[in-house]
Structure 1
Amino acid sequence: MTTLRHILFCLGWLLYCTPAFAGSQQVLFIDTLPRQFQIPSHFAYADPNALKGGSLRLSASGSFDSFNPYIPYGVQAAGVSLTTGTLTAASRDNPFVQYPYVAEKFEIAKDNGWIIFHINPKACFYDGHPVSADDLVFTFNTLMTEGTPRYKQYYKAVDHIEKVNPLAVKFVFKEKNNRELPVIVGQLPVLPAHWWKDRDFTKASLEPPLGCGPYRIKSFRTGYTVELERVKKWWGKDLTISKGRYNFDSVIYNYYRDRTVAGEAFRAGEFDFIVENTAKNWVHDYTGPAFNQGLINRLELKHSRNAGMPGFYFNTDRPLFADRHVRQALALVFDFEWTNKTLFYGQYTRCNSFFSNSELASTGLPTEQEAALLLPWKTHLPPELFTSAFVTPKSNGTGRIRTRLQKALSLLKKAGWQLKDGVLSNASGTPFTFELLLRSGSLERVALPFRHNLKRLGITMDITMADTTRYIRRTRDHDYDMIYATIPQSDHPGNEQRNYWASTSANTPGSRNWAGVSSPAVDDLINKLIGAQNKLELLTATHALDRALLWNYYVIPGWYSPVDRLAYWDKFGIPQTRPKRGVDIFSWWVDPTKDQRIQNSAYRSGDAGR
């Protein structure tokens, strides 16, 4: 390959252009890269000599009724993302670097006011129709007008999209110097305008989609299984993002009604790989002859990912949870230390931030720079924010939290609630009753002791278990009092924060503003975060936003595991180099010798899909 000199467009803390060497490739990035950044021919955790063939069988929960994941209706099938290409794609080593995918080259304004994507002329859909600028214009405009509302929120800073030529489009931004916007639009999926011309985009459909990704839908049984097949002459097989990846001839998702059933099915050999999220299961269920004989491997991988904020989210649109003192009181009632010791076998760490396990988490008192962002909104923020360090309540793990319950009752009285004859009621005599909506049986055993402690304060918490379909519909409509959910975070927060916390997303169906946050102070801090021009400004704004969210008690902080717990049937070849940010199962491949050993074993069953 002839070595050519090209430009890396700097979207992060670098203010100069950086040369790169790798044919005609470029990358977009939001972080410091070496001046002589070498674009690799393949990801470090992928083996370009990996064998192709065999099957990967995975699990999915609940059911599905649609292959259209872009609308606010229906429950999308697992694996649909494998059928769709995006303009750019990230690695699991550095999420800030976006590599070429459907777009092979980029042009960007000095003030980040626009970006032009040049489409790879090899890119085509399954029917051979080449990807064009018309497809990108159709995709963007359709998602903004007919897609799920989160697209309007996510791409709200895009003013419009222009067709430059048949293989180039220009995104013009409403904001300048927003260094994340070019990366955000690089994540745009690419949909075929000619295929959708005679179809209703707004309807949930089980017609297999026409895509340009590495896999396509081969067959399915609604509610039971989805099988995808590898596109043998896929146009993108030689890209950096693809070499040594997407090695399985088929990827099969088997559906189970809950994770308990799925765990049993895994150990019976019905599928190949599982990420175990329940500490109790990891301790007790991953043992036996198949493990002893090395047919199933267990693996714990320590990670350094931003854990975000899992927890019990209050829906502040409900009058019951509109008062911050009420939310603070209930946060005192949840005894994490006892839960971790008794139910989790000490395997979890408490979240202390909306950006837990990262340098983005606020600590101690606000710095001078943070205070400068917070003080203009002093009347809108809790006074404790400026005088005290936020800490989650801690117990000795014995379950004796009488002092905390007394403090909680005091806060509830301040909010107008009184305990009489064992029932907590407001001035009009309405008892304090609410519903916790869950979809995981493993969370119910955590919620039951929490409910017991609430009952000691005269509060009734009803626990509702919903199947996946019902849960998705209710959370999409924000139809709940409280849920246990996770707000994920990257190491470079940006425009997605509007979907999590902005007033404009508080009542938007499909948004992740689970708590219904609607605060001018939070809105301003989000804008400061998005507009950060260097790392110090980003850290300062993120810390300030974190403090505003924490002190408003929008969530009872949950927990995270510092390791990924994986189990898999030993049929795979695995690259020696592991990703820095979690497992990439699509860089694995089937080792025929290992697979045959498992096939010959007495413990393997569930051979459907092989």
Structure 2
Amino acid sequence: MTTRAMPGIDRRTLMKLTAGSAVAALIPAGARAAAGIEATGLHGLSVFGDLSYPPDFTHFAYVRPDAPKGGRMSFRPPDWAYNQNPQTFNTLHSFVLKGDAPPRMEMTFTRLMTRAWDEPDAVYGELAEIVDILEDGNLYRFHLRPTAVHHDGTPITAEDVAFSLTILKEKGHPLVSQTIEEMAGVEAEDERTALVRFSGKQTRKLPLIVADLPIFSKAWWDGRDFSASTLEVPLGCGPYKVGNFQAGRYIEYERVRDWWGNEVPSAVGRNNFDRIRVDFYRDRTVAFEAFKKGNTRIFETFVAKTWATGFDFPAFHEKKVVKKEFPDFRPAGAQGWFFNTRRAKFADPRTREAIGLAFDFEWTNTNLFYGSYVRTESFFENSPMKAEGAPSADELGLLEPFRDSLPEEVFGEPWTPPVSDGSGRDRSQLRRAVQLLTEAGWTRRDGALVDKGGNALTIEFMTNAPTFERVLQPYLDNLRLIGVPASIRLVDAAQYQARLDGFDFDAVGRRFALDATPGEGIRQLWSSRSAGIDGSNNLAGIREPAIDALVEKLIHAKNREAMTVVGRALDRVLRAGRYWVPNWYKPVHTIALWDEYGWPETKPRYEFPVETTWWYDEEKAARLDSQ
């Protein structure tokens, strides 16, 4: 279960600097702003000023710079963003709320700067050759590469940049528009120079987020409705363009062989496949069958049973298909079944905790997952921001102003889901669940649990994946034992997304994987304001002043150490809210593939960019075909 990511970052490039500007680049952005330094000619940006690559770098360390170009790959994307849907699509416009778009449409556009995935948050120029930071960090001047063109050969201009960033703020998907609110305006200083102005209230990360947004053709969009869905192929300017597609079935992205950015250092060794195909399946079992037949060539599985028992087929025994595990060092984030607290029946955290106690992870992990998972405990799982033990003095200093409004447990050991006896029906946990329901005011009437108004307590888990039924069913049986009728609602992909966007569910499973340096996007997860914005990621409907305040402190932290302290304090408050039933994670990528691909020796710490860093190996493919 992965999620629509917040405006993140991922693309390609670099630039040349003077010795003076190179020194300025190593000064933290916050220090530059505080001292009023005008830093010019910067080849990269990071939140706290630390850059691993010098101005004259030639390629990222996690790519093979001479990787062969050619061949094809087909896969089922493990993650997606904005209005993208991994099960179907009915629009090619990927950056608005309306419609369901195919994952990876972002590859058809360029960005001002691109993410280095072996650093926590650094970006390096792509469309922008260099960037200047002016006016105490409130004005960024991006100098565009003169060779950059759209796919029709027309130049990419500063007017295109101004149009793109402005229209995304005005009409873009809420995950974009709400995130970049403190971008005050964008203008073209001249054809090759774009000025991006901020309000003065922005976080250190916002300029990096803005620099990673897609750039469109202003001329192409003239006369078209940016907020509408469309199957007309938008004019792009990235390393790939849309090729053949059939709405809801498949889409192919074709490499632009003469792409203007091929020689940009941050693009060297990347974008190696001539054709990348995404096929759409509404059922993971069907998708795996397609892989077994060779219709899909790379398959990352998130189903433990498939990984443990699903490889009894000829191609695997003949070693045409191989299994690989790659370490995953990224923050695991929060995966779980999120309660919709907008609904009165889930307003009391005791009710939510009781429902969570009926889930026996230990039994599930042993009997359904083959022991392959670890229980998720934190909203910052697998991250230094995960709260553990008693709060430090610094954490207490952040929490004390809210003591009167927070549960006492926030000031002690963080809440952690209890470990069951593994029987599948831990009587002590079920008794505790019944006790909590009674304390929350639920009473039995005519065999049902009802509140003071006579409304029955029921819960429906919404899903779009049939594979989760085997996990949910034993959980539902336990819920019925404590008097809570529970059901599974399997909905089609389009309806699922529409109901998510409109918060039309009781509980839903989701994973939110956070960046190593969280930015404005986490407001969309937990802030009170986002709880009322359709399409936001605040699925639980969290409205808590202490969380609002800590979110702001986190994204405005002056250094990584301060950010970590705030993150731990925030984690304590979130966990105390019982907004979810925590699920599970594993620190590896489990990949099956037809043995015709190569990949770099070094995997970047903060991403697993298969489609942009792997390549088609003709020698392997020839051996495969000869078998």
Alignment pair present for 1:56 and 2:49: no
Secondary structure of the corresponding residue to residue 130 of structure 1: coil
Alignment pair present for 1:67 and 2:83: no
Alignment pair present for 1:504 and 2:529: yes
Residue 596 (structure 1) shift: 2.5
Residue 94 (structure 1) shift: 1.7
Does the 8 A contact of 2:26 with 2:51 survive in 1?
A: no
Does the 8 A contact of 1:135 with 1:191 survive in 2?
A: yes
Does the 8 A contact of 2:17 with 2:42 survive in 1?
A: no
Alignment correspondent of 1:245: 270
> TM-score under structure 2 normalisation?
0.91
Alignment pair present for 1:26 and 2:43: yes
State the aligned residue count: 595
2: CA distance, partners of 1:447 / 1:239 = 48
2: CA distance, partners of 1:38 / 1:176 = 29
Secondary structure of the corresponding residue to residue 111 of structure 1: helix
Alignment correspondent of 1:525: 550
Alignment correspondent of 1:599: 625
Alignment correspondent of 2:36: none
Alignment correspondent of 1:41: 58
Report the CA distance shift for 1:180/1:11 in structure 2 as closer, same or farther (over 3 A): farther
2: CA distance, partners of 1:411 / 1:194 = 60
Does the 8 A contact of 2:333 with 2:381 survive in 1?
A: yes
CA deviations on 1:95-145 (whole Å, 9 max, x unpaired) are 411011111111113732222211111111001111111111111221122
One of 188, 194, 206 as aligned partner of 1:169: 194
2: CA distance, partners of 1:293 / 1:583 = 27
Does the 8 A contact of 1:146 with 1:201 survive in 2?
A: yes
Mapping of 1:566-581 within 5 angstroms?
Answer: 566-581=591-606
Alignment pair present for 1:117 and 2:134: no
Report the CA distance shift for 1:79/1:150 in structure 2 as closer, same or farther (over 3 A): closer
Secondary structure of the corresponding residue to residue 470 of structure 1: helix
> Given residue 362 of structure 1, which amino acid in structure 2 is its aligned partner?
A
> TM-score under structure 1 normalisation?
0.93
Residue 498 (structure 1) shift: 0.6
CA deviations on 1:364-396 (whole Å, 9 max, x unpaired) are 122111111111122222222124432211112
Alignment correspondent of 1:588: 614
Identity of counterpart residues, as a percentage? 35
Mapping of 1:80-229 within 5 angstroms?
Answer: 80-109=105-134, 111-175=136-200, 178-229=203-254
> Given residue 161 of structure 2, which amino acid in structure 1 is its aligned partner?
L
Secondary structure of the corresponding residue to residue 506 of structure 1: helix
Report the CA distance shift for 1:3/1:106 in structure 2 as closer, same or farther (over 3 A): closer
CA deviations on 1:161-216 (whole Å, 9 max, x unpaired) are 23222222222222357321221211121011000002111211001111110011
2: CA distance, partners of 1:375 / 1:4 = 48
Alignment correspondent of 1:438: 463
- Worse-superposed segment, 288-297 or 249-258: 288-297
2: CA distance, partners of 1:445 / 1:120 = 53
Residue 421 (structure 1) shift: 5.6
Stretches of structure 1 that go unaligned for 5 or more consecutive residues are 18-23, 602-610
Residue 12 (structure 1) shift: 4.9
One of 537, 541, 560 as aligned partner of 1:535: 560
Secondary structure of the corresponding residue to residue 578 of structure 1: coil
Alignment correspondent of 1:457: 482
Does the 8 A contact of 2:131 with 2:143 survive in 1?
A: yes
2: CA distance, partners of 1:388 / 1:212 = 51
Does the 8 A contact of 1:310 with 1:485 survive in 2?
A: yes
Residue 573 (structure 1) shift: 2.6
CA deviations on 1:439-498 (whole Å, 9 max, x unpaired) are 112222111111011000111112011222211111011111110011211111121111
Secondary structure of the corresponding residue to residue 256 of structure 1: coil
Does the 8 A contact of 2:304 with 2:370 survive in 1?
A: yes
> Given residue 60 of structure 2, which amino acid in structure 1 is its aligned partner?
F
Does the 8 A contact of 1:258 with 1:440 survive in 2?
A: yes
1: CA distance, partners of 2:17 / 2:454 = 78
> Given residue 484 of structure 2, which amino acid in structure 1 is its aligned partner?
I
One of 21, 25, 34 as aligned partner of 1:9: 25
2: CA distance, partners of 1:361 / 1:111 = 33
Considering only aligned residues, what root-mean-square deviation do their CA atoms show, in Å?
2.1
Does the 8 A contact of 1:25 with 1:39 survive in 2?
A: no
> Given residue 423 of structure 1, which amino acid in structure 2 is its aligned partner?
A
Alignment correspondent of 2:4: none
CA deviations on 1:492-550 (whole Å, 9 max, x unpaired) are 11211111111111011111011111121111111111111112211111111111111
Alignment correspondent of 1:293: 318
> Given residue 304 of structure 2, which amino acid in structure 1 is its aligned partner?
A
Report the CA distance shift for 1:419/1:209 in structure 2 as closer, same or farther (over 3 A): same
> Given residue 620 of structure 2, which amino acid in structure 1 is its aligned partner?
K
Residue 62 (structure 1) shift: 2.3
Report the CA distance shift for 1:372/1:496 in structure 2 as closer, same or farther (over 3 A): same
Alignment correspondent of 1:392: 417
